Amino acid sequence: MTVVGPFGLSLRDDALDADVRAGMAAVEQGLLEATKSDVPFITQTARHLVEAGGKRFRPLLTLLAAQFGDPYAPGVVPAAVVVELTHLATLYHDDVMDEATLRRGAASANARWDNSVAILTGDFLFSRASNILADLGPEAVRIQAEAFERLVTGQILETTGPAPDNDPIAHYLDVIAGKTGSLIAVSGRFGAMMSGADERTVDILTQYGERIGTAFQLADDVLDIASDTSESGKTPGTDLREGVPTLPVLYLRARGGGQDADDVRLRELLDGDLSDDARHAEALRLLRAHPALERARRDTVRYADEAHTLLSGLPAIPARAALEDLCTAVVHRAG
């Protein structure tokens, strides 16, 4: 028996499969309970993205990390619900900032209702996550607060852009570490911590989460350029259209003012108005064929390899093999 997780990940051990199936079912139930309000409209908006599905990458990581202690400990599933609620809340806010119209193959909340409803729904989900956290103890609250600070800081850094004396690529990787790596690191940390794993194991799984989280986001950015809508569930080139610099674009710009005709044309398109569908399509086509995209793929592989190496310090149990497979799956996704 196997359970299919993010990116087609399959668990090859029957006992682990059963544990994760049961855990994920409990997480789904917890998400439904956490998004239920006495106001029916709030329930509808809060469950909009829950019911749209998603990879559930963060709660899966929490459940796998818990395998290194007691996976049935009472705090494991609530912690997994917390990280997914936090992630969902950020998606509502991200879609407002990006003016996105599609999320997980469905209309985004801001497109279906309006920006105010989307923002307030995100705030509602943050409040529900905080309520669950309160029962997990002050240390869990502190960890989540620090991660949330990093997440918001990453978003602000992305919005403001690098300072004149900062390397844009280093700035971008700092943004990714904050926006994505921080919460995925907490997913691994919470799973290990709530299961009663030893401090060394908690530290390894925290570091693993940070690196696989960065690889995950870099793969997502590569996919945004390289895929079509059916693969990603989002409109391809959303960041490109909005002028959000991702790693392939930054690598292109770092090449300087070369005279290659495609480079010149691509820079001209990126410096201009990409709200025009024809210009946007041309920019996507040129960027998909550009060496900068392959260089971004190589960075994805590097972070995934670092995450994989960290796992050598953990016991060789089925959960470790699953985490190793997750590194491979993330890289394959960017391929």
Percent of the chain exceeding pLDDT 90 equals: 48
Quick one: pLDDT band at residue 181, thresholds 50, 70, 90? very high
Residue 162 has pLDDT above 80, yes or no: yes
Provide the pLDDT for residue 92: 80
Residue 226 pLDDT class (50, 70, 90 cuts): confident
The confidence band for 1, taking pLDDT boundaries of 50, 70 and 90, is very low
Q: Is 53 helix (H, G, I), strand (E, B) or coil?
A: coil
What tokens does 144 get? 């989540």
Assess whether the region 14-197 and the region 201-316 belong to the same CATH fold: yes
For residues 291-300, average pLDDT: 91
Q: What pLDDT digit, counting tens, does each position of 235-287 carry?
A: 677 778 877 788 888 998 887 666 678 888 888 888 888 888 899 999 899 98
Which of 3.30.530.20, 1.10.600.10, 2.30.40.10, 3.30.390.50 would CATH assign to domain 201-316?
Answer: 1.10.600.10
Per-position b or e across 257-285, b if 16+ CB within 10 A of its CB: eeeeeebeebbebbeeebeeeebbeebbe
- Read off the pLDDT of residues 42-101 as tens digits, 9 standing for 90 and up: 888 887 877 777 788 899 999 999 999 999 999 999 999 999 999 998 888 776 666 666
Task: Give the pLDDT mean for 188-217.
Answer: 96
Average pLDDT across the chain, whole number: 86
Q: For residues 325 and 45, which has the higher predicted lDDT (pLDDT)?
A: 325
Q: Does pTM surpass 0.95?
A: no
Region for residue 273 given its phi and psi (left: phi exceeds 0; alpha: psi -120 to 50; beta: otherwise): beta
Range in 1-15, 68-82, 185-199, 250-264 with the lowest mean pLDDT: 1-15
Q: What are the two backbone dihedrals, phi and then psi, of residue 10, each rounded to the nearest 5 degrees?
A: -120, 140
Q: Are 266 and 293 in contact (CB under 8 A)?
A: no
Beta bridge partners of residue 191, listed in sequence order: none
Segment 26-34 shows an average pLDDT of 94
Report d(CA 252, CA 112) in Å as an integer.
36
Residue 5 has pLDDT above 60, yes or no: no
- What CATH architecture does domain 14-197 belong to? Orthogonal Bundle (1.10)
The burial class, CB within 10 Å (0-12 / 13-18 / 19+), for 163 is exposed
**Quick one: three-class SS letters along 234-275?**
CCCCHHHHHCCCCHHHHHHHHCCCCCCHHHHHHHHHHHCCCC
Element (H, E) at 246: none
Average pLDDT over residues 220-234: 68
Per domain, the residue ranges of the chain are 14-197, 201-316
